[in-house]
Structure 1
Amino acid sequence: MRFFSILLTMVVFVGLSSAKAQNNDEQQIRNILKAQNEAWNTGNLESFMEPYWHSDSLMFIGKSGVTYGWQATLDNYKRGYPDKTAMGKLTFTFIQFKPISKDTYFVVGKWHLARTIGDLEGHYTLLWKKIKGKWNIVADHSS
């Protein structure tokens, strides 16, 4: 009976530790998204792009199709949003944070650009992966 009590205590402890790690990971991603939002609103596309995986394997899916690579994605943003007027003010609304594994998260949300030249909005899905201890967006589908 004592063995069962010890085993049950260990299972509960491991479960709580896992839940705490997930909450910590989710909070880290939320903080990164907040910083990314702030970077956009100051017109700093390079800082906005910082959480994206610096790899040719980064996948961005938008209205023009699939783009591969960090630099190509940044170049597309620069073409689409050449100045602060085009960039407007970005607001993220989070819909879901779903852990896929201990180092992978799936995030769904909504984006809104308030602009003097006409507002834009849509939804996004982000696949986050922890690489070398750092959370990175490895795939982004924004519509």
Structure 2
Amino acid sequence: MSTSPSALATELAFRAKFLRIACLANIVLFVLLVGGGTALITTVARATGASTAAGDEKDIRAVLDAQVIAWNKGDLDGFMAGYWNDDQLTFISGGDITTGWKKTKERYEKRYKADGKEMGKLVFSDLHVETFSPNAAMMRGKFELTFEKEKDDAKKTARGRFTLILRKTPDGWKIVHDHTSAEEKK
């Protein structure tokens, strides 16, 4: 049985087209499997009680609620309990980077407790939580700090925004990175 050159060319073209479609289908299946596997792992972790997105958000908001209560009582140690007590904690504000829990606490002490300075009244608002996994999340929000002793109205209130990265530790959710920026005075 002999095959004509045109029939052979048609068959080769068909096979080449079939191989291209098969390769594309394999790539699509691979992407779906990887994406689906990642979603499945997260779903299983949440379904087995490892965590829930709503539960994590509630726990993260509780960290900041406890910080506000402690701050407004003048309890810097209570406020600092929301931070990861580790040398790798980072705090960025005013163009400066402070590394470590102890140095971050010292920064707060110098700025708000030393030489008769007041801590003021703290309020957080406009809070948005985004969980990345059962053990990592980000929170964005606004802060307002009002000082009673200030006579100058321009200094009486400090406002700004912050972004926090939180990690779930054996001690609960802790802030591992804090980037805070104050509004410029007008």
Using the alignment, how far apart are the partners of 1:94 and 1:107 within structure 2?
10
Deviations 1:15-73 (A, max 9, x none): 8848x711001101111111110000000111100010110000000115100000000
| Higher strand proportion (structure 1 or 2) | 1
User: Which residue of structure 2 lines up, in the alignment, with residue 30 of structure 1?
Assistant: 61
User: Which residue of structure 2 lines up, in the alignment, with residue 5 of structure 1?
Assistant: none
RMSD: 2.1
Aligned pairs (5 A) from 1:87-126: 87-116=119-148, 117=150, 118-126=156-164
TM-score computed with the length of structure 2 as normaliser: 0.64
Higher Rg of the two aligned structures: 2
Q: Which has the higher contact order (CA 8 A, sep 6+)?
A: 1
Matched residues, number: 130
TM-score computed with the length of structure 1 as normaliser: 0.83
Aligned pairs (5 A) from 1:1-143: 14=43, 17=47, 21-82=52-113, 86-116=118-148, 117=150, 118-132=156-170, 134-143=172-181
Deviation at 1:94, TM superposition (A): 3.2
* Identical positions, percent: 35
Unaligned runs of 5+ in 2: 1-39, 151-155, 182-186
User: Which residue of structure 1 lines up, in the alignment, with residue 33 of structure 2?
Assistant: none
Unaligned runs of 5+ in 1: 1-10
Moved over 6 A (4+): none
